[in-house]
Amino acid sequence: MKILQITKKLPFPLTSGEAWAVTALSKGLKACGADIDLFTIYPKEEDHVSNEDEEVRQKLRGRTVYSEVEIVDTTITTTKRGALGNLVSGESYHADRFDQEVVRDALEAWMQRHRYQVVIVETVYMMHYVQVIKTLNPYIKVVLRAHNVEHAIWERYANGLGNVKSWYFKEQSKRLRAWEIKVMKETDLILPVSDHDAEVIKSMLEGKDEKEHAGELLVTPIGMSVSDIVSGKELGDKDENASLTLGYIGLLDWRPNVEGLQWFLKEVWPSIIESDPDVKLKIAGKNGDALKLQKAENVEVVGEVADSDIFLRSVDVMIAPLLTGSGTRVKILQALRVQVPVICTSIAKEGLALTHQKELLIADVAAEWVDAVEVLKSQETETSNVAKDMIVHGQQYLLEHHNINKIAQAVMSAISSL
């Protein structure tokens, strides 16, 4: 089966949840016999990669499962002027930013040279380009990989604001919801990443005033290979002077991440270091300079890391203090995979069938975070069994729910039946 996968960013290196999710599925489908090409856009604000750079193209092909790779340079920015100017259009600012003429032209040229049975659209934002594909290949099947229920992220974010900002983001959330419904109805198959998201999408598509969606839904969790899941933990460089080292990793220019981390540093971190001044926090992620996190006591900002596994293995506990969001927090799965205990908020584990005090610890207020850190800090007492048990249960959970071989086989079966 010949498949085109289109993405809004390069799915490598594996330093973001989206990259991990895209790569895992493509590897799984490749193992099932699919022949996959990648069409991706690459914002010019990133470290420059050109489609004409043959060395880069060879490297991408060598590191991935794709037969051919097309990279389109473009510019996708968020500005106050653009955000305000968008209000008069009635359209979604979040979605419209990804509608680029240069991408349409490049995709049209690509489709004129290639034929596919299926296109997998990674994230709803790339649905702008389905019409280009369908015009040149009317019989192609359209599969949407819904990494998040996108409007829900901004709806939650708006609820935490006040006055004008709250109104603006609520308005944008409504517009984005309408956009999601519209483009989801143009698909043959939707792949939500969790049961929770699947239920939300079903309710969106079954609204009384909405045209019925004729396609199918298949819950497709973020997958991992069995060999990755059962591999033993290799320790990274640890701070021997710290009683416990917490680790945070994520894109530091993504608003839900910024919001959650700033809340943690303001509302939670002072209580933790007051309880134990020797606890340390390491923060990894791209574009964190503007946050000025270095001012926080006992906090080290390491910036972007080339390998998230190495970073996770250098800490004792991974934290995920998310307050808003949707989809699946891949970093939690990665931490479980490399056998690092996790403390997170209830929202951070949303979409994952994980249980408090079984696979991880859940903390939503400062006192709960302090207690959770204390439990995992006590390595020389019986409480150390908590961490050991969570690691064992976490590995079992991954094998049962996130085995990429089973997930990819289910996707291939669903695609074949379209």
Report the CATH number at residue 123. Answer: 3.40.50.11010
Is the distance from CB of 41 to CB of 12 less than 8 angstroms?
A: no
Q: Name the one residue in this structure whose structure tokens are 């990804």.
A: 98
Peptide bond into 13 cis (omega under 30): yes
Q: Which CATH number belongs to the domain containing residue 250 in this structure?
A: 3.40.50.2000
The whole model's pTM is what?
Answer: 0.83
> Residue 113: which pLDDT band, with cuts at 50, 70 and 90?
very high
* Judgement on whether residues 306 and 388 belong to the same structural domain of the protein: yes
On average, the pLDDT of the chain sits at 85
Q: How many domains does the chain have?
A: 2
Residues 250 and 377 grouped into a single domain:
yes
- One domain, residues 157 and 23: yes
Indicate if 176 and 235 belong to the same structural domain: no
Average pLDDT over residues 366-372: 93
In this structure, the answer to whether residues 211 and 253 fall within a common structural domain is no
Instruction: At 226, give phi and psi (nearest 5°).
Output: -60, -40
Comparing 304 with 354, the larger pLDDT belongs to 354
> Does 135 lie in the same domain as 24?
yes
Do the beta carbons of residue 114 and residue 4 sit within 8 Å? yes
The pLDDT assigned to 139 comes to 95
Phi, psi of 79 (to 5 degrees): -130, 155
What pLDDT was estimated at residue 126? 95
The residue-averaged pLDDT of 38-59 equals 62
How far apart CA 122 and CA 254 sit, in angstroms, is 18
What are the helix and strand counts (H, E) for the chain? 17, 13
The residue that leads in pLDDT, 324 or 185, is 185
What average pLDDT does this structure show over 106-127? 96
Indicate if 190 and 73 belong to the same structural domain: yes
Nearest CA among 12, 185, 183, 196 for reference residue 95: 183
Is 136 found in the same domain as 240?
A: no
Domain range spanning residue 87? 2-223+403-416
Mean pLDDT of 222-243: 67
